[in-house]
Amino acid sequence: MSTLVLLAVTGLGLGALYFLVAAGLSLIYGLMRVLNFAHGAFLTVGGYVGYAVGARFGTATVSWGVFVLMLAAGAATGAVFALLTETVLIRRLYEREIEQVLVTVGLGLATVALVNGGWGSDARVMPAPAWTGRTTDLLGAAVPNDRFVCIGAAIVVLIALLGLLHRTRYGLVIRAGVENRAMVRALGIDVRRSFTAVFVIGGAVAGLGGVLAGLYNSSVSPGMGDSLLIFAFIVVVIGGLGSIVGSAAAAVGVALLQQFVNYYGTTGLGDFTVVLALAAVLLIRPGGLFGRAARA
């Protein structure tokens, strides 16, 4: 029983990280039709800036106030990076998908190289509050407290995004743009501002996820964004492009499947099973579980 609880909570923590990356990807592609392969770079840079803020205090443990500052710095860095990416690069390449892929892949590779040059290729221990390094007994399982922090942060982000999309006029424009961009333009609404806003929101959430990924793994490394980005794309496709709820549900399902199969099977079998699940969804519901094709 304790093993099941530990695997479940650990899977939920991993799913929280997948969701934080996938939410921005889903919105960006759903509204803008941009396959942003540099999204993992937002996470990596945000994570390293959060680490740099915490490292200035010279200790492996920091107060909760400092950790909140680290989260804010990571989110702000991701937002600024995303803003520059959209205004300088992507804005010139709308409706040109091949160029978008090439530019974002190149930006992602260049960012990893710059991080390697600035901080080195070795992993850096992420400063964190002392409580996150301890465990909590849950139904007989000693669950690391950092999992609860990741899960809680993802729930807050999910609620905030749903509130933005469903309770504000700006969210209405974004959702309408996801459903029918041509109609929104015909109504005289400037969707370019929505494009920029969605990119900034996605970058901020990814930057926040970078700091939490460092907490989850106890360290930051140059390649952490790329490894999470792969599964985030899988989550987005399974959940349905443009669906935040779909991304959340798919993130939980993918992470739990991965954790349980890897533990009870052989190492790496969980990743293969996730790919099989992706193939099954594409065959049965090409639009994803919560995507437009599924709703239609």
Among the ranges given (107-121, 127-141, 214-228, 281-295), the one the predictor scored with the smallest mean pLDDT: 281-295
Domain boundaries, position 98: 2-225
- Beta carbons within 10 angstroms of residue 80's beta carbon: 18
Asked whether residue 257 is domain-assigned, the answer is no
**Considering only 39-48, 115-124, 175-184, which range has the smallest mean pLDDT?**
175-184
Number of domains into which the chain is organized:
1
Confidence of residue 76 (pLDDT cuts 50, 70, 90): very high
Q: Each residue of 113-168: pLDDT tens digit?
A: 999 888 888 889 999 999 988 888 888 888 889 999 999 999 999 999 889 888 88
Split at pLDDT 50, 70, 90, the class of 52 is: very high
What is the Cα–Cα distance from 113 to 223, expressed in whole angstroms? 10
Return the SS3 of 123.
coil
Q: What percent of the chain lies above the pLDDT cut of 70?
A: 93
Domain contains 248: no
Place of tokens 């990596």: 44
pLDDT above 60 for 39: yes
Does residue 230 surpass a pLDDT of 60? yes
User: Is residue 249, in this structure, part of any structural domain at all?
Assistant: no
More confident residue, 7 or 139: 7
Residue 290 lies in a domain: no
- 280 lies in some domain: no
Angle at 193 between CA 112 and CA 243, to 5 degrees: 70
Q: Evaluate whether residue 284 is within a structural domain.
A: no
Tell me the pLDDT of the chain averaged across its residues. 86
pTM of the model: 0.89
Q: How many CB atoms lie within 10 A of CB 52?
A: 18
145-184 per-residue burial string, b: 16 or more CB within 10 A, e: under 16? bbbbbbbebbeebbeebeebbeeeeebebbbbbbeebeeb
Q: Looking at the chain, which runs of residues are DSSP E strands? A: 124-125, 135-138, 141-144, 219-220
The answer to whether the beta carbons of residues 11 and 258 sit under 8 Å apart is yes
- Does a structural domain hold residue 234? no
Look at residue 269 and tell me if it is in a domain: no
Q: Select from 197, 224, 213 the least CA-distant residue to 74.
A: 213
DSSP H or E segment with residue 51 = helix 39-55
Least confident of 82-86, 187-191, 244-248, 254-258: 187-191
pLDDT at 291 over 80: no
Question: In terms of residues, how long is the chain?
Answer: 296
pLDDT score of 207 more than 90: yes
Report how far residue 212's alpha carbon sits from residue 225's, in angstroms, rounded to the nearest whole number: 12
